[in-house]
Amino acid sequence: MLKLFEIVEDKSPKDRIDELRKDIERYNYYYYTKNESLVSDIEFDKLLKELEELEKKYPEYKIENSPTNYVGATSLKESKFKKVVHKKPMLSLNNSYNITDVIAFTERVEKNIDSVQNELEYVLELKLDGASISVTYENGELLRAVTRGDGVEGEDVTENILAIESIPNFLKEAVSLEVRGEIVLPLSRFKTLNEERLELGEEIFANPRNAASGTLRQIDSEIVKERGLDAYFYFIVDAEQYGFKTHKESLEYLEKIGLKTTGVADLITDMSIMEKRIAFWEAEKENLDYETDGLVIKLNDITLWEEVGYTTKSPRWAIAYKFPAKQVTTELLGITWQVGRTGKVTPVAELKEVELSGSKVKRASLHNMDEIIRKDIRVGDRVFIEKAAEIIPQVVSSVKEVRTGAEKEVVVPTNCPVCNSVLEKEDGLVDLKCVNPSCPAIIQGSIEYFVSRDAMNISGFGSKIVERMLQLHYIKDITDIFELHQHKDELMTLDKMGEKSVEKLLGSIEKSKSRPYSKTLYALGIPFVGKFLGDVLAKKSKSIDVLASMSKEELLEIDGVGEKVAESVYNYFRDEKSLEIIQKLKSFGVNFGKVAEDKKDEVKVEGKFTGKTFLFTGKLQKFKREEIKDLIESLGGTNLSSVSKKLDYLIVGEDAGSKLKKAEELGTVKILTEDEFLELTKE
């Protein structure tokens, strides 16, 4: 009886095989074509393994193009680039997750070698998380660069590869060879790139790998240049033909001819040392300026590679060791709809508290309703959350297998959760919007934005105080901030607002009137005009009156201004309410630039740091990052974003990592502590 029940309950092997195949194909499609991970690596490997085992047990249900037979494919059908067949297929690697898996791998290697003479040696390398590339040089000159694609055929992205500074057009020797490596976006660049994208209202990149692989497929190689990609090589195709006996030798040769490697190639024979080195890199990877998702272990003796052999997907002489995932699962308790200063209403996941990459997480981003539907996320679900390099945690997927049936579908709000007015969904956009200009959430958001450090830099205006002042009607919009002194006595009676703090607040308000025009412009909160564009527009217009009178065409001529921004700025200055606000702010003495005199934003300051370049790294104790940047610029210096020969000074905080190492290697950079830097400013 029981048996019969089981058969009815369970899926037939054929159905399960079909289901697994479909799921894996979908995950592959998202991963390789859309650069998006719908499931964690561990989850993916589990499904693939289940499929492999079922196919072995029931070979009659295995189809030829099962995902167990090929490397996940990038859809080449929609490709804008010329397709090129790889001379040798670009293989993938098998994954391992612990030292037992690694030892099992080395035992398999040994078993495949007829007569093992000496102890086998392995090379331990970093596994870079980027986009793989195959580059062909002919007589020392770069001929072609091709993405992995489906492993057999890739896209010709030569133009874009030439725009990457660290890939030489000419090698130091006139050799002909094909090399393989990884294109990555340095973490520091990734961070600034996302900041810029946030400002422009563009979708941010979920992780550096997405950013690297998206950038590589840009039609315009100028964009590739600006993004600042980097490249590291780890493989020479048919290395044996060039006389190399070991993989390590071939890596050293890459360096010798001018191709960058990570420089990490530990030679290991003993598995207890392997375990120690794995643990070492797991901690050390946090200090690198590129994302690594694990290590790669390769048999060092190239002459044995053929004998050890290959599967259809991967070499048997190498294995990837994946670091524990930065993803964890937790329960989705509910969803809060947040109203931002622009009226955008976004869903935030309220989670059962969980630890992720060393911090406690209770909330995560769900982006928008379309994402919730696409990922089929329900309240009560067990969800995967992840933290991609320095961004707020986000919900990646839900685990459908453990649903009890009690989970509830997310309901789209029709009314603003704060002011209850009917929400709008803009045509073509997925965002819900509250369009009530008097919505307290919008007003509160715009005031907090206006007083923030990068804008008017008014201190003493915490969100609780703003809320209280709104309730008491001391402020109704940003202009009222400059009349707060009329409420001085009442302010002093407010909770936690003694005479001193009121004086300080009013003093800070007064001081803010002379903020540079680029900052006051940013503070207005014109849609899409963030820090970066605030600077650009201020430099060009020199005064708000000039900016307000510009036509859309004139705005479009400014570097960095596209259709969306031009439209937004143009419309802003044609709105009665905005003009009224600017007029009022001007009457209080807020600086909005002057055509003739106020050239602060345009002309570089001359000072003791003129002509000198600076960069800081590690945790600074005495300065906030923006403060130190401002200080350097106010003395005429220039801030750089990476260590290069152009760098004069590196200011080092606590736990400095790869930047310090690189600066030391260069030998031309002066390395300063924060105190030494302070001395320098005074000299």
Write out the catalytic residue numbers. 127
**Given the complex with ligand IVH, which of 264 and 328 has the nearer CB atom?**
264
C-alpha to C-alpha distance for 352 and 441, rounded to whole angstroms:
26
To the nearest whole angstrom, how small is the minimum distance from the Cβ of residue 128 to ligand IVH? 4
**Given the complex with ligand IVH, which of 90 and 650 has the nearer CB atom?**
90
To the nearest whole angstrom, how small is the minimum distance from the Cβ of residue 317 to ligand IVH? 9
Q: Which amino acid is at 118?
A: N
Please name which of 501, 503, 502, 523 lies closest in space to residue 512, comparing C-alpha atoms: 523
C-alpha to C-alpha distance for 327 and 331, rounded to whole angstroms:
13
Pairing of strands 122-128, 318-322: unpaired
User: Closest CB to ligand IVH belongs to which residue?
Assistant: 132
Please name which of 453, 454, 461 lies closest in space to residue 482, comparing C-alpha atoms: 461
To the nearest whole angstrom, how small is the minimum distance from the Cβ of residue 309 to ligand IVH? 12
Q: CB pairs under 8 A, 24+ apart, for 265-268?
A: 265/123, 265/124, 265/125, 266/123, 266/124, 266/125, 267/121, 267/122, 267/123, 267/124, 267/300, 268/121, 268/122, 268/123, 268/124
To the nearest whole angstrom, how small is the minimum distance from the Cβ of residue 261 to ligand IVH? 9
To the nearest whole angstrom, how small is the minimum distance from the Cβ of residue 389 to ligand IVH? 17
Phi then psi for residue 444, to 5 deg, are -60, -45
C-alpha to C-alpha distance for 601 and 65, rounded to whole angstroms:
60
φ/ψ bin of 328: left (φ > 0), alpha (ψ from -120 to 50), beta (otherwise): beta
Compute CA 568 distance to the chain's CA centroid, rounded to the nearest angstrom.
26
**Given the complex with ligand IVH, which of 232 and 384 has the nearer CB atom?**
232
To the nearest whole angstrom, how small is the minimum distance from the Cβ of residue 212 to ligand IVH? 11
Inter-residue contact 71 to 150 (CB < 8 Å):
yes
CA 18, 24, 25 angle in degrees (round to 5)?
Answer: 90
CA 167, 190, 97 angle in degrees (round to 5)?
Answer: 85
Burial of 402 by CB count in 10 Å (0-12 exposed, 13-18 middle, 19+ buried)?
exposed
Inter-residue contact 446 to 478 (CB < 8 Å):
yes
To the nearest whole angstrom, how small is the minimum distance from the Cβ of residue 100 to ligand IVH? 20
Please name which of 447, 433, 510 lies closest in space to residue 476, comparing C-alpha atoms: 447
Q: Tell me the two tokens of residue 302.
A: 């190239």
**Given the complex with ligand IVH, which of 123 and 628 has the nearer CB atom?**
123
To the nearest whole angstrom, how small is the minimum distance from the Cβ of residue 410 to ligand IVH? 35
**Given the complex with ligand IVH, which of 179 and 475 has the nearer CB atom?**
179
**Given the complex with ligand IVH, which of 320 and 491 has the nearer CB atom?**
320
Task: Please list the residues that pair with 266 across neighbouring strands.
Answer: 124
**Given the complex with ligand IVH, which of 27 and 235 has the nearer CB atom?**
235
Compute CA 117 distance to the chain's CA centroid, rounded to the nearest angstrom.
47
Strands (E), 61-130: 83-85, 95-96, 122-128
**What Cα–Cα distance (Å) separates residue 324 from each residue in 293, 301, 316, 328, 541?**
9, 29, 23, 10, 51
Q: Supply the DSSP string of 199-220, one letter for each residue.
A: HTTPPPPSSHHHHHHHHHT-S-
**Given the complex with ligand IVH, which of 81 and 235 has the nearer CB atom?**
235
Please name which of 564, 566, 677 lies closest in space to residue 631, comparing C-alpha atoms: 677
Q: Tell me the two tokens of residue 188.
A: 């520091």
To the nearest whole angstrom, how small is the minimum distance from the Cβ of residue 358 to ligand IVH? 25
| 49: Cα within 13 Å, side-chain hemisphere | 9
**Given the complex with ligand IVH, which of 320 and 643 has the nearer CB atom?**
320
Inter-residue contact 364 to 394 (CB < 8 Å):
yes
Inter-residue contact 459 to 505 (CB < 8 Å):
yes
C-alpha to C-alpha distance for 400 and 64, rounded to whole angstroms:
28
Q: How many CB atoms lie within 10 A of CB 682?
A: 6
**Given the complex with ligand IVH, which of 325 and 631 has the nearer CB atom?**
325
Residues of this chain that interact with ligand IVH (CB under 6 A) are: 91-93, 125, 127-128, 132, 182, 234-235, 296, 315, 318, 320
**Given the complex with ligand IVH, which of 234 and 461 has the nearer CB atom?**
234
Inter-residue contact 616 to 650 (CB < 8 Å):
yes
Please name which of 487, 530, 542, 531 lies closest in space to residue 509, comparing C-alpha atoms: 487
**Residue carrying structure tokens 């030494």:** 676
Q: Tell me the two tokens of residue 569.
A: 């700025």
